[in-house]
Amino acid sequence: MNGEHEHYAGHEEPWDERTPGVLRLPSGRLVRGRGLRHALDPSAQTPSYGVYLLGGQPPATPWASRWLRWPDFRLPADREEARSVLTDAWARATTERVELACAGGRGRTGTALACLAVLDGVPAKEAVAYVRTHYDRHAVETPWQKRYVRRFTPPL
């Protein structure tokens, strides 16, 4: 480990990188993407914070969470709110186990993870490829989701 996870010092243990869906961002932050239709392994680590990208109210969780209204195959209903929520999730990932999830874990989740990659310094035009290489090769499903990532910018 030797400094690899030092940003978690004094906080909870980071995600186990062997866990399915865990993405390491260039800064070393670890975030997990997940499809809610897939049951959680009872022995797996749980998030301390989740962002749920769904058209309707997400199920209740025993950890802190935020609902970002985002219909399937579409874009966030409120793009400024999305920028704020994703920036907060990225910041929390330095000390917390952050999870981003939609129903299937590919389109909306991949798009949100690509936006976190942009916040982490990956050029916007390369962020979809980064997530497809390091998370899921089918992530970010639609042309408008790809365009959303290319145009995503951090908040001012």
Please report, for the chain, the start and end positions of each structural domain, with discontinuous segments joined by +. 22-151
pLDDT confidence band for 11 (50 / 70 / 90): low
CA angle 55, 80, 60 (to 5 degrees): 40
Higher pLDDT, 153 or 24: 24
> What top-level class would CATH report for the domain 22-151?
alpha beta
Per DSSP, the residues of 53-120 read EESSPPPP-SSEEEEEE--TTS--SSHHHHHHHHHHHHHHTTTS-EEEEESSSSHHHHHHHHHHHHHT
pLDDT tens column, 39-97: 888 888 999 999 999 999 999 999 999 999 999 999 999 999 999 999 999 999 999 99
